[in-house]
Protein backbone atom coordinates (compact mmCIF):
# COMPACT_ATOMS: atom_id res chain seq x y z
CA UNK A 1 0.00 0.00 0.00
CA UNK A 2 2.85 2.37 0.74
CA UNK A 3 4.30 1.86 -2.72
CA UNK A 4 0.89 2.35 -4.33
CA UNK A 5 0.51 5.59 -2.39
CA UNK A 6 3.89 6.75 -3.67
CA UNK A 7 2.87 6.03 -7.27
CA UNK A 8 -0.52 7.64 -7.00
CA UNK A 9 0.46 10.76 -5.07
CA UNK A 10 -0.74 13.52 -7.43
CA UNK A 11 1.31 16.62 -8.20
CA UNK A 12 0.05 19.76 -6.49
CA UNK A 13 -0.84 21.22 -9.92
CA UNK A 14 -1.00 19.88 -13.51
CA UNK A 15 2.52 19.30 -14.79
CA UNK A 16 4.13 18.67 -18.15
CA UNK A 17 7.57 18.75 -19.72
CA UNK A 18 10.44 19.37 -17.28
CA UNK A 19 8.10 19.71 -14.28
CA UNK A 20 6.50 16.34 -15.06
CA UNK A 21 9.88 14.63 -15.36
CA UNK A 22 10.92 16.06 -12.00
CA UNK A 23 7.63 14.94 -10.47
CA UNK A 24 7.99 11.35 -11.65
CA UNK A 25 11.66 11.22 -10.62
CA UNK A 26 10.58 12.15 -7.10
CA UNK A 27 7.76 9.57 -7.18
CA UNK A 28 10.13 6.78 -8.14
CA UNK A 29 12.71 7.90 -5.60
CA UNK A 30 10.08 7.41 -2.89
CA UNK A 31 8.70 4.17 -4.31
CA UNK A 32 12.14 2.66 -4.95
CA UNK A 33 13.19 3.37 -1.39
CA UNK A 34 10.14 1.46 -0.08
CA UNK A 35 10.16 -1.62 -2.35
CA UNK A 36 12.44 -1.94 -5.39
CA UNK A 37 10.41 -4.74 -7.01
CA UNK A 38 6.96 -3.25 -6.48
CA UNK A 39 8.18 0.19 -7.51
CA UNK A 40 8.74 -0.98 -11.09
CA UNK A 41 5.86 -3.48 -11.27
CA UNK A 42 3.02 -3.19 -8.80
CA UNK A 43 1.64 -6.54 -10.00
CA UNK A 44 4.68 -8.23 -8.46
CA UNK A 45 3.42 -7.23 -4.99
CA UNK A 46 7.06 -6.85 -4.05
CA UNK A 47 7.81 -10.53 -4.76
CA UNK A 48 11.14 -10.91 -6.60
CA UNK A 49 10.30 -14.40 -7.91
CA UNK A 50 7.15 -13.18 -9.68
CA UNK A 51 8.97 -10.23 -11.19
CA UNK A 52 11.80 -12.51 -12.32
CA UNK A 53 9.33 -14.84 -14.07
CA UNK A 54 7.79 -11.97 -16.03
CA UNK A 55 11.23 -10.60 -16.86
CA UNK A 56 12.28 -14.00 -18.23
CA UNK A 57 9.14 -14.16 -20.36
CA UNK A 58 9.85 -10.71 -21.82
CA UNK A 59 13.46 -11.66 -22.58
CA UNK A 60 12.25 -14.81 -24.36
CA UNK A 61 9.86 -12.69 -26.44
CA UNK A 62 12.66 -10.28 -27.38
CA UNK A 63 14.80 -13.24 -28.46
CA UNK A 64 11.96 -14.69 -30.52
CA UNK A 65 11.69 -11.36 -32.37
CA UNK A 66 15.38 -11.64 -33.31
CA UNK A 67 16.32 -8.58 -31.25
CA UNK A 68 19.12 -10.07 -29.14
CA UNK A 69 22.58 -11.30 -30.07
CA UNK A 70 26.23 -11.21 -29.11
CA UNK A 71 26.92 -8.12 -31.26
CA UNK A 72 23.82 -6.13 -30.32
CA UNK A 73 23.92 -2.87 -28.38
CA UNK A 74 20.86 -2.06 -26.26
CA UNK A 75 19.52 1.10 -24.65
CA UNK A 76 17.20 0.35 -21.71
CA UNK A 77 15.11 3.48 -21.41
CA UNK A 78 13.96 4.00 -17.83
CA UNK A 79 15.86 0.98 -16.52
CA UNK A 80 14.38 1.15 -13.02
CA UNK A 81 16.09 -1.23 -10.62
CA UNK A 82 18.12 -2.79 -13.44
CA UNK A 83 16.27 -6.04 -13.93
CA UNK A 84 16.71 -6.02 -17.73
CA UNK A 85 20.29 -4.84 -17.46
CA UNK A 86 21.09 -8.04 -15.56
CA UNK A 87 18.82 -10.29 -17.63
CA UNK A 88 20.12 -9.09 -21.00
CA UNK A 89 23.80 -8.55 -20.22
CA UNK A 90 24.79 -12.18 -21.02
CA UNK A 91 22.91 -12.00 -24.34
CA UNK A 92 24.17 -8.74 -25.85
CA UNK A 93 27.42 -6.86 -26.41
CA UNK A 94 26.45 -3.78 -24.41
CA UNK A 95 23.42 -2.52 -22.52
CA UNK A 96 23.08 1.03 -21.23
CA UNK A 97 20.32 1.94 -18.80
CA UNK A 98 18.95 5.45 -18.37
CA UNK A 99 17.03 6.58 -15.31
CA UNK A 100 15.66 9.86 -13.94
CA UNK A 101 15.40 8.59 -10.37
CA UNK A 102 18.57 8.78 -8.29
CA UNK A 103 17.37 5.94 -6.06
CA UNK A 104 16.56 3.70 -9.02
CA UNK A 105 19.87 4.48 -10.77
CA UNK A 106 21.80 3.66 -7.61
CA UNK A 107 19.95 0.35 -7.22
CA UNK A 108 20.48 -0.54 -10.89
CA UNK A 109 24.22 0.12 -10.64
CA UNK A 110 24.51 -2.05 -7.55
CA UNK A 111 22.56 -4.92 -9.11
CA UNK A 112 24.54 -4.89 -12.36
CA UNK A 113 28.00 -4.24 -10.95
CA UNK A 114 29.24 -7.73 -11.87
CA UNK A 115 28.54 -7.20 -15.58
CA UNK A 116 31.27 -5.32 -17.42
CA UNK A 117 29.07 -4.64 -20.44
CA UNK A 118 26.49 -2.69 -18.42
CA UNK A 119 26.37 1.05 -17.78
CA UNK A 120 23.77 3.16 -15.97
CA UNK A 121 23.34 6.84 -16.74
CA UNK A 122 21.11 9.19 -14.81
CA UNK A 123 19.51 11.55 -17.34
CA UNK A 124 17.03 14.40 -17.44
CA UNK A 125 14.36 12.24 -19.09
CA UNK A 126 13.65 14.78 -21.83
CA UNK A 127 15.47 13.24 -24.80
CA UNK A 128 18.37 10.96 -25.77
CA UNK A 129 20.87 13.77 -26.22
CA UNK A 130 23.72 11.96 -24.39
CA UNK A 131 23.90 9.37 -27.20
CA UNK A 132 25.36 9.64 -30.68
CA UNK A 133 23.52 8.85 -33.88
CA UNK A 134 23.19 5.17 -34.86
CA UNK A 135 24.61 3.79 -31.60
CA UNK A 136 22.10 1.08 -30.64
CA UNK A 137 20.42 -1.92 -32.21
CA UNK A 138 17.54 -1.93 -29.72
CA UNK A 139 15.87 0.78 -27.66
CA UNK A 140 13.81 -0.94 -24.97
CA UNK A 141 11.16 0.84 -22.90
CA UNK A 142 9.36 -1.41 -20.41
CA UNK A 143 6.55 0.52 -18.69
CA UNK A 144 8.44 3.73 -19.44
CA UNK A 145 6.42 5.22 -22.30
CA UNK A 146 3.30 5.80 -20.17
CA UNK A 147 5.25 8.28 -18.06
CA UNK A 148 6.75 9.94 -21.14
CA UNK A 149 3.25 10.18 -22.62
CA UNK A 150 2.00 11.77 -19.40
CA UNK A 151 4.94 14.21 -19.43
CA UNK A 152 4.36 15.16 -23.06
CA UNK A 153 7.77 13.96 -24.25
CA UNK A 154 6.89 10.62 -25.86
CA UNK A 155 7.02 11.94 -29.43
CA UNK A 156 10.44 13.45 -28.80
CA UNK A 157 11.69 10.09 -27.57
CA UNK A 158 10.36 8.24 -30.61
CA UNK A 159 12.09 10.72 -32.92
CA UNK A 160 15.25 10.37 -30.85
CA UNK A 161 14.97 6.59 -30.95
CA UNK A 162 15.11 6.72 -34.74
CA UNK A 163 18.24 8.88 -34.50
CA UNK A 164 20.15 6.65 -32.06
CA UNK A 165 19.13 3.37 -33.70
CA UNK A 166 21.40 1.80 -36.26
CA UNK A 167 19.82 0.86 -39.61
CA UNK A 168 17.88 -2.32 -38.96
CA UNK A 169 17.41 -1.45 -35.30
CA UNK A 170 14.18 -1.57 -33.32
CA UNK A 171 12.25 0.32 -30.66
CA UNK A 172 10.25 -1.87 -28.28
CA UNK A 173 7.71 -0.23 -25.98
CA UNK A 174 5.93 -2.53 -23.57
CA UNK A 175 2.86 -0.49 -22.67
CA UNK A 176 2.35 2.82 -24.43
CA UNK A 177 0.03 4.56 -21.98
CA UNK A 178 -2.13 3.81 -18.98
CA UNK A 179 -5.22 5.29 -20.62
CA UNK A 180 -6.98 1.92 -20.80
CA UNK A 181 -7.82 2.25 -24.52
CA UNK A 182 -5.63 0.00 -26.65
CA UNK A 183 -7.21 1.28 -29.90
CA UNK A 184 -6.17 4.83 -29.04
CA UNK A 185 -2.65 3.66 -28.17
CA UNK A 186 -2.36 1.74 -31.43
CA UNK A 187 -3.44 4.78 -33.43
CA UNK A 188 -1.00 7.02 -31.55
CA UNK A 189 1.92 4.65 -32.12
CA UNK A 190 1.11 4.21 -35.81
CA UNK A 191 0.94 7.98 -36.30
CA UNK A 192 4.18 8.64 -34.44
CA UNK A 193 5.98 5.87 -36.27
CA UNK A 194 4.95 7.28 -39.64
CA UNK A 195 6.13 10.76 -38.71
CA UNK A 196 9.39 9.44 -37.28
CA UNK A 197 10.42 7.14 -40.12
CA UNK A 198 9.83 3.90 -38.25
CA UNK A 199 7.76 0.94 -39.43
CA UNK A 200 5.32 -0.74 -37.06
CA UNK A 201 5.91 -4.48 -36.80
CA UNK A 202 3.85 -5.21 -33.67
CA UNK A 203 1.11 -2.80 -32.68
CA UNK A 204 -0.32 -3.47 -29.24
CA UNK A 205 -0.36 -7.25 -29.03
CA UNK A 206 -0.57 -9.04 -25.66
CA UNK A 207 1.99 -11.85 -25.96
CA UNK A 208 2.71 -12.47 -22.27
CA UNK A 209 1.06 -14.99 -19.97
CA UNK A 210 2.23 -13.57 -16.66
CA UNK A 211 1.68 -9.89 -17.45
CA UNK A 212 -1.00 -7.98 -19.34
CA UNK A 213 1.44 -5.54 -20.95
CA UNK A 214 0.83 -4.47 -24.55
CA UNK A 215 3.77 -4.89 -26.92
CA UNK A 216 4.73 -2.35 -29.57
CA UNK A 217 7.65 -3.04 -31.92
CA UNK A 218 8.87 -0.33 -34.31
CA UNK A 219 11.65 -0.93 -36.83
CA UNK A 220 14.15 1.33 -38.55
CA UNK A 221 14.68 0.17 -42.14
CA UNK A 222 18.10 -0.98 -43.26
CA UNK A 223 20.56 -3.69 -42.37
CA UNK A 224 22.85 -4.16 -39.41
CA UNK A 225 26.39 -3.11 -40.24
pTM check: above 0.95: no
Residues 6+ apart with CB under 8 A from 118: 82, 85, 86, 89, 94, 95, 96, 97, 112
Q: What is the pLDDT of residues 122-144, one digit of tens each?
A: 999 999 999 999 999 999 999 99
Whole-Å CA distances, 57 to 60, 63, 87: 5, 10, 11
Pairing of strands 165-174, 92-99: unpaired
pLDDT value of residue 49: 84
Q: What does the pLDDT average to over 25-40?
A: 56
Q: What does the pLDDT average to over 160-179?
A: 97
Q: What percent of the chain has pLDDT over 90?
A: 75
Residue 219 and residue 170 in contact, taking contact as beta carbons nearer than 8 Å = yes
Residues recorded for the chain: 225
What does residue 41 show for φ and ψ, rounded to 5 degrees? -160, 95
Arithmetic mean of pLDDT over the chain: 86
For the chain, which domains are there? 47-219 (3.40.50.150)
Amino acid sequence: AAVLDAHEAPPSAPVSGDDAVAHWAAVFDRAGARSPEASVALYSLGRPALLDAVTDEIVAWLAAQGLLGAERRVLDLGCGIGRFLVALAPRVALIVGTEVSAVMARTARARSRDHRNVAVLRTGGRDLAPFRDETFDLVLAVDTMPYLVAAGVAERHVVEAFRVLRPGGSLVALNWSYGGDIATDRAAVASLAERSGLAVRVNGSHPFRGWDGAAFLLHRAGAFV
